[in-house]
Structures are given as C-alpha cells and as structure tokens.
Structure 1
Amino acid sequence: MAKRKGTANEQAWRRIPPDIWQARHKLVAMGVSTLNRKSQQWQQSLGTADRDEASLRKAGLEAEWRREEQLWRGLLRDGPASLSEMEALELARLGAARRWEQHKSSPLDAPFKSQAFPRPPFTPSEAAQSALRAMSLEDREAAKREGIANLKRLMDASPLERMHLLREVRDARGYPWCFPEFRQIGLTMAEERRGEATSADLEAAGIRAADEWSRLLVNLEGIGAEEQLRESLGRRALGDLSVPQWVTDAERIETQRKALTGAGGGAVLTFDGIIDEEERLARLRLEGHDKALSTLRKYRTVCKQFATWRASGNATTTTLAEAERWRDALVGMADKEEISRKDARIKAGIPRAVIGWAIAHNREARARDTCVGIIFPDGNPLVAMALPRVEQGDPSERTYPKHMARRLLEAARLEERPEFRWLPWLLVYTGMRHNEAAGLEKADIREYEGCWFCVVRWKMGATLEEDRVQKGKRTRRIPLHDALIAEGFVEWVKARPDGRLFTRKHGDQRLREWVHSVFPKGLGKVDPVHGLRHLFEALIMDWDSERSQDYVTGRSIKGSAKGYGQSDAIIPALGKLVNSIPPLLPLPTKSAN
C-alpha cells in the first residue's frame, strides 16, 4: 500500500502470479479481457487517505483479486465452462429477470436492440463447393430443400423442440449443418445479435468463459427471454402492474442457487466447485479433510466424465435414478472388458462421495450463517445406490512366482537408472508399496546397533504437494535384508546427495513399462509392481508373530497395541525375522555399484 501519485489517497498493488501471467494469452482468448494488459502488477486506488480505512479496503480488494486468480486457474485447468441446455435456459431467464428489475419503473426507457439478425458475408468453402459439385442435380436440390426446411424448423420451433434441433447443429447432422461454415455463420450471427448481453448473463452467474456451444445456447435462449421481457414491459407501460409469472419463476431459481452457493454466490454448484472447496480445506490441514492431491485429481477426472455423460455439471440436480444409469453404463463397459470391474465400482461411487462433501460444506456454511438454504435436505440421494460387486480373484495369480522374481532381479542388476536398479529389490525384500519405496529419502536409511533399516514414514510437508502419503499414515521401520545390503544398496545410498532417492513423476507407470520389457511374452495375471509385495507377504507367512507381519507390511493393527513397540529398539529382533527369508539369488561376492 502506498500513496497514489498526484493525490493523497492510498493505493493497493499486487503482482499477478507468474503462472497466470505466463498463460495470460490463453485466458484472453477465452474472454478474460482483464488480462489484456502490459503490466504484471494490479494497481487500484483505495479512495481514501485514511490508512486504517485504506487497510480495510485493501483487505477486501486483495480477497477479490485472489478469487479472480482462483477462477483463472480453474479456467486454465478445466477450460471454458460447458453448459447443458437447461443451464443455458436458466441463465438466460435470470438475465431477463435482472433487466426486468432494472427497467420496470420506467418500461418505456428500456433499451432493446433490433430483433433482426445481422447477416455477415458468407462464402462457401472449397470443400463445401466440391461436395455440392459431386452431387447429382436431384440430390443437390434435395439437400437445398432439406437445408431450408431445417432452418425454418429451428426458427419456428418451441423451446423444447429447439433444444433437440440445436443438437443437430452441434453434431453437424443434416443440411446445412454438415458444412462447418454454415454452423460458424450461425454462431457469428447469434454473437452479433446478443453476445454482449450473454457475456453479462454468464458473468452474473460467476462464469468467466464458456465454450462456443454454451454461448450459442445462452444467445438463442436469451433472444426468446428478451421477447418475453419486451412483452411484459409493454403490458406494464399500459398499466398492468402485476409481476409476470416468468419473473417469479426466475426469482425462485435465484433463491435456490443462493441456497447452493451462499448468499453472495451466483454460480451453479458444480462437481468441480465442490472439489475446489474440499481441496481448499485439505490445504488448511483440517481434520476430516486430509485428502491427497492425487486423490482429488482422480475424483475431479471422474466427476468431469460423469458431468459430460449426464450433460450437466450441476451437482445438485443429480438423482438416484441417474446415478444408477451411470453405474449400469460402467458395468456394461466392464462386461466388454473396456475397464475393470474394480474401476467400475470406484467410478460409480465417486459422485456419491463428492455429493457427501457438498452436504458437509453446506452444513458448515449454514453454521457460519454464510448460506441461506439447505442442499439435499433429505440427505445424500446416492447413498441408496448399490455399487458393483467385485469378485475376489485368486491372490496367487497376481503374485510373482519365485522364478519370475529371480529373472526380474537379475535384469535389475544390469540397469543404471536408480528406479529400475533398486526398486524391484526393495519391493521384494521389504514388502513396501511402490509409492512408499519411491518416496524414500537418504535420511530414511539408518543404522541401529549394526542393523540397517529404512523408515517408511508419513510426513506432512510444508504444502499439500509435499505430503508423503501412505495408507494408515503410520511411520514404521523395516530392517534391510542381508541380500539387499550385499547387493550394495546401502553403499549406493551413502553416495547419494541428500533428499529423494528416486524420481517420483510417473514412477509407477515407468516401472511397469520396464517390467513388461523384461517379460516380452507377458506376465499373465501377475501384477507387474504390486505382485512383488504379494510375494513378500507369501515369504513371511511362516513368521510366528502376526503382529510383526502386519507391522512390516503396514497393515492396520487394532486396539491400543498399535501405539507401542515402534521405536528403533525393535530393529534387531525384527531383523532376524526379515533375514529368515531365504535369498532369491546367491549373494554376490562383492557389492555391486
């Protein structure tokens, strides 16, 4: 905050974050005109010379700037909004209702544009001309008649019929829509006729950018809503002071939207919006909101697929019947072996979980008096949905046979890349999950009374991105097998710089690809990575202590026992158990590099 040049007033400034600034041209192309600027710095007068008042205004202004930045990051991540026909209809009617409130006191002064559509210049493309020339005279005449008829049907149709006909335009079905330039000229005419008002309607709903199809829908529905507004204002000018029914309906829609998004909100409560809020709470490290970013990304991807499938991102209109149809479609894909049945179960359940988050967010907002209504007052409608049952296969089919494990370890000896050289050995002799082994740091490899061990820990980093997440979030210590030490792993670790031992990005997928290269004829049903953990669990089946088995593999330990016996003092005894596993390969005479 500083004095504005040439005035006593204070001014606020904030630097636009580098990630947004570098992508500003993409955002400008999506309609964010605010970023069509040369300076990377926001500057705005606070309108007062009083520093205390200026500080209050600055806080509000910075909050608004942060909201803008969040919206822009959402645009860069998800692209322009995609609206269904019903969402476009709602936005157009809400826009007309706002204009009714603005002009009802002086209806004769309401500005209306000409109802005529502008006619931009049009030249058929060479491809269209070639296609028409290739047709017989009779077919060309038939196509012309069909095109004229389709245009007339679109203009004369009822709102519901127009929604169906517009899908033909979108999907380029029939004449003239099969020629891209005819579709484009329709988009251009609609934008020139009502584009400015559509931008205002979208902005009022909190939508900063929408795709071409969504804008066309709002444009066309807005033209119909404008005609309704014109007629209602005309009747009011003649003395009819009643509130039109369509205005009452729009007010009810607006009330419902505020109930969903908070008193100051206006945007539809989308699955993306719910996940954004859950991510915000996760970043605050609040109890009950400890989702990993990878989990939130997976949920976001599946919800985007669900929204596309149902042609609406509005989470509050989700019904049990609709979710069951989604589940059935996923089961159908599993039956065709396009996805696994386990994936079908996960994808079917994710929308239910996200709606549960929304209900919790809404309950918290009402407790803070920042929300004026209840969403899903009868509870989560998807709770009643039965999820696909996953048949448990024979675990032995997913487990590496010893001869395959030996071949993999021998192949690893020939590798120089750390992930391929050491992760297979770690997984075989420690039973760690891939993400646990891949997340090890140099400081996690330690020695106690002559016994080397690794610390598999859950660490809450400075940011959510830095969290090292494992199931159960419980630190454990796993002794290193003598075969792993003889192989040279400890010496390799000592020579490494501080920090991570392995590259994290796409690590699991790269390891899987490498394993498949070792077994070009295929692995059968053996899991390329997790099958090594299965093998370790098979090798420790003869341990007398079930608790030791659960501890080393990171399984849940019930009762008060889970909090005891987890210091370095357990290493010598646990090391004897680990080294009771016979080496899969003869120990080398000297350490490998």
Structure 2
Amino acid sequence: MSEYISAPHCFLKDGIFYFQRRVPAELRRHYTSSKISYSLRTRSARVASARAARAASQLDEYWYHLRSQDADLPGKHMLRLGVSGTARQAFEDGSVNIDCMSLSEAVVTYLRLKGCDKGITFHRAAERACGYVIDTCGDKPLTSYRKADANAFRDALIARGMAGSSITRVFGTVRSIINFAANEEGIELTNPFGKVYYDRSAGVSDRRPIPAEAIRTVQAECYRLDDEMRWLVALVADTGMRLAEAAGLLCEDIMQDADGNFTARITPHPWRRLKTASSTREVPLVGSARWAAERLLDAQDGTGFAFPRYNKTGTTNANAASAGLNKWLKPYVPDGATLHSFRHSMRDRLRAVECPADIVDQIGGWQTEGLGHGYGTGYPVAVLRKWMQSATVSVA
C-alpha cells in the first residue's frame, strides 16, 4: 500500500505499476474511453512515480490545448490541425458528412488525400491559411461562405501587414483546399475566394542580384576564413543553388568524374525535400563551388552530410543557415541582398554570356515552359559545365 501511495496516478497489478488518469468530462468526446490506463512496465515505485508524473504533465499540457482549441480565441490557426472534434473524427475514420462539411473538415480531407507524401511545410501552410479564414469568418460549411467573407478575409490579411505576394499565397491555398474538397465530395459551389481584388505588389520588394565585384569579394573572404559556413556560401555563390538544396547535400551527392570535374546531384532526401519536380538535377561545380566541394569532402572524409552543422536533427535546418550566413554576408553585398540573391545573379551571369534559356532553366532547376521540354532527359552535364565556366566570376 505504501508503494501505491508514493506513485500518484498509479495502481499495482500483479506487482507491475499501471498509470491511470480519468479524462475530464468536457474532453471525453475526444476519447473512446472515460479513462486512460496502461502499463508503466516497472515494479519500482520510484521509476513508476517518475514515469507517471511525466505522463500526467504531458496530458495536462495536451488537455490545455484541446480546451484552447474549442474556445473561440484569436490564433486558433496556430494549433496543430486547428479542427473541431467532428473534423478530427472524420480524419480518423476517413468519412466526412457532405451535407455539413465545414472548412476545417475540408482541410482534413485535403491533407488526408494530398498531404500523405508531403512535408510538414505543406501541412502547416494549409492549416495556417484556413486557420486565418476561421479566425476571421468562422468555421462554416463550404456552401455558406459568401463574397463578403472573402473580402473580410482579404481586409484581415492586409491588417496583419502581409505583403501582396503573401496574400496571394494564402488565397491560393484556401481556394485549392475548397475546390479540392468540394470536387472530392461532389459539392457544387462557386468558390467565393476567387477573383478577390487587392494590390498584389503592395509591400513587395524586388530581390536584387549581387554584382560580380561583390561576388568576388565574398569569395575571397570565403577562401580566407575557410570553414564550413564559408564553404556553403562559396558553393551557393557559383551554382545559384537554393540554400536548402546545398545545406542538405550528402558527400555522396558530390561526384567526381575521370577528368577530375565535380558535379552536385540535387535530389530529394527525407531530411530535405525539393521545392519542385524540376529541382531534381545535376549541377556542375566550377569556381568557388569546386573549391568548396574539395574542402568539405576532405573535411568529412567523403561520407555523411556535407554540412553536418545544419543537419543535427531529422530535418535540414535551412532557417538557421540563412540567419547566420545572411548576417555574415551583409557587409559585403548591397542593401537588401541575401544568399538567395546569388540565385538571381547566376541567372543574370548566364544571360550575359548568351546562354540559351532552357540551359539556364536546367542549371537552376526552373520549370521550362512548352510541351517539347518535357521530352528527353535534358542537356549533358558537359554542356552545362561549359556555360557555367563561361559565367564564372571566381577569384581563384
């Protein structure tokens, strides 16, 4: 009996401690039972007490979120999924009541069918965008939204200080979710979130390319400091890769041919997805990018992550890379320029040597318009290398 008293939320059965906690009455609709009970897999009261206390703390935190989710509070969209109990049940059993499908249920349908192989960014974008609608207009059946709701939603996004480009992305996500869910469940409606007017250029600043002289200065500093952070800058500077593409590389993704040329294979990984299908490609490494490849392969013994400092968890931390590297880069480039500006510069550099547009697209992983461009496997790496060498501004 003394052991039982010393381990709160526990009971003994055949010498094994079990955790038990009653579900609060107002939250029971979220559960299939009125109490939670399971084995703690220990005969020690001390171990059981620690495990039970941790479980009770986790439950208290989760129940707080469930209560907050049910309340009509600003910021509901920031909660995971942000859907009602009805929608959560629809998510679990795969069924949705067509006659009363709400926007939150539409989000569940959309993510269940289209989000199964997508990353967390895709899910968060859908939940956040529709969460904004729910905060502004309420969680209504899809057929109940009117043009006035869409206009009020637009005004709310503008009041948040969103730029025109951000508003466009949010509206696009909401339209896609409503159209997809309505089509999937056979609901006929005119989407009121289409053709909503707002200034798409408001708050949008052009990303300026980095001039050749500034690129040379940055590369010279990379050679001088010669560390992992600068290798990443040097790699991006002479390839125009997206920062996440470069930061998520494996050493095995960097290949060397019989002539000593280096090429980076950009391919999806579980820790780093690619932005578009056309982003999968092979990029020749010339100039500072070749120098960076040689340095990092030597440092990492040719195996594992090319940039381990940005891959310490299950996801490439491109945000940390961006924050740190942009801060370092700022004194060497024009105002407003960032690491992503190297991507703009690469396009201009290739234009300057009269590189054909479809080769530019293949190097940068941009989508090339036109039916014919979907045929074949593209230009050989040797052709890409020739044009990139023509456009190099390396100092070494």
Q: Does the TM-score normalized on the shorter chain lie above 0.5?
A: yes
Give distance in 2, aligned partners of 1:577 and 1:30. 66
Report if the CA contact (8 A) 2:214-2:333 is conserved.
no
Matched residue SS, 1:478: strand
Residues 40, 408 of structure 1: CA spacing in aligned structure 2 closer, same or farther, 3 A cutoff? Answer: farther
Pick the aligned partner of 2:301 from 457, 470, 495: 495
Q: How many angstroms apart in 2 are the aligned matches of 1:408 and 1:276?
A: 46
Alignment of 1:485-564 (within 5 A): 485-487=290-292, 488-489=294-295, 491-492=297-298, 495-499=301-305, 501=307, 502-503=310-311, 504-519=315-330, 524-526=335-337, 528-541=338-351, 542-557=353-368, 558-564=370-376
**Aligned with 1:425 (options 234, 238, 246):** 234
2:267 maps to 457
Following the alignment from structure 1 to structure 2, what is the Cα–Cα distance between the partners of residues 29 and 296? Answer: 31
For 1:278, give the aligned amino acid: Y
Counterpart check, 1:379 vs 2:179: no
1:35, 1:456 → 2: CA distance?
A: 51
- Provide Cα deviations, 1:386-424, integer angstroms capped at 9, x if missing partner: 3542279785x5222334434444454566873x23222
Given that residues 411 and 518 in structure 1 are in contact (C-alpha distance below 8 angstroms), is that contact kept between their aligned partners in structure 2? no
Is 1:441–1:498's contact at 8 Å kept on the other side of the alignment? yes
Q: Residues 402, 348 of structure 1: CA spacing in aligned structure 2 closer, same or farther, 3 A cutoff?
A: same
Amino acid at match of 1:39: Y
Greater CA drift, 498-507 or 300-309: 498-507
Structure 1 residue 530 displacement after superposition: 1.3
Name the structure 2 match of 1:400. Answer: 210
Aligned to 2:193, the other structure's residue is in SS state helix
2:23–2:36 Cα contact (<8 Å) kept: no
Q: Percent of aligned positions with the same letter in both sequences?
A: 16
3-state SS of paired residue (2:190)? coil
* One-letter amino acid matched to 1:546: A
SS of equivalent to 1:453:
strand
Distance 2:354 2:252 in 1: 29
Residue number in structure 1 paired with 2:108? 276
Alpha-carbon offset, residue 453 of structure 1: 0.4
Distance (whole Å) between structure 1 residues aligned to residue 203 and residue 277 of structure 2? 23
The 5 A counterparts of 1:121-136 are none
Q: 1:314 aligns with which of 114, 120, 140?
A: 140
SS at match of 1:321: helix
Is the CA contact (8 Å cut-off) linking 2:147 and 2:193 kept in structure 1?
yes
Counterpart of 2:80 in structure 1 is none
Find the counterpart in structure 2 of residue 352 from structure 1: 175
Aligned to 1:81: 69
Displacement after TM superposition at 1:261 (Å):
2.9
Shift of 1:552: 0.5
SS where residue 111 of structure 2 aligns? Answer: helix
Q: What CA deviation, in whole Å up to 9, does each residue of 1:351-380 have, x standing for no partner? A: 2222112212313xxxxxxxxxx3xx2332
Structure scoring higher RCO (CA < 8 A, sep ≥ 6) equals: 2
Aligned partners of 1:28, 1:350: CA distance in 2, in Å? Answer: 36
Aligned-partner SS, 2:256: strand
3-state SS of the aligned residue for 2:36?
coil
The question of whether the paired residues in 2 share the 8 Å contact of 1:479 and 1:575 is answered with yes
Q: 1:354 to 1:415 in 2, by over 3 A?
A: farther
Counterpart in 2 of 1:443?
252
How far does the alpha carbon of each residue in 1:164-204 deviate from its partner, in whole angstroms, 9 at most, with x for none? xxxxxxxxxxxxxxxxxxxxxxxxxxxxxxxxxxxxxx97x
Counterpart contact for 1:441–1:499, Cα < 8 Å = yes
RMSD: 4.2
Match runs of 1:324-363 below 5 Å: 324-333=151-160, 338-363=161-186
Q: Does 1:261 align with 2:96?
A: yes
TM-score, length-normalised on structure 2? 0.68
Which residue does 1:469 correspond to in 2? 274
d(CA) in 2 for partners of 1:523, 1:508: 21
More displaced 10-residue stretch of structure 1: 32-41 or 338-347: 32-41
Task: Report the Cα distance in structure 1 between the residues aligned to 2:296 and 2:264, rounded to whole angstroms.
Answer: 10
Question: Structure 1 residues 408, 385: closer, same or farther in 2, change over 3 A?
Answer: same
Name 1:580's counterpart in structure 2: 390
- The answer to whether the Cα contact below 8 Å between 2:238 and 2:286 also exists between their aligned partners in 1 is yes
**Counterparts of 2:262 and 2:375, CA distance in 1:** 23
The structure where helix makes up a greater share of residues is: 1
Task: Give CA-to-partner distance per residue, 1:108-163, whole Å, 9 cap, x none.
Answer: xxxxxxxxxxxxxxxxxxxxxxxxxxxxxxxxxxxxxxxxxxxxxxxxxxxxxxxx
Displacement of 1:425: 1.4
Deviation at 1:525, TM superposition (A): 2.6
Max radius of gyration: which structure?
A: 1
Partner Cα separation in structure 2 for residue 442 and residue 78 of structure 1: 44
Distance 2:250 2:305 in 1: 5
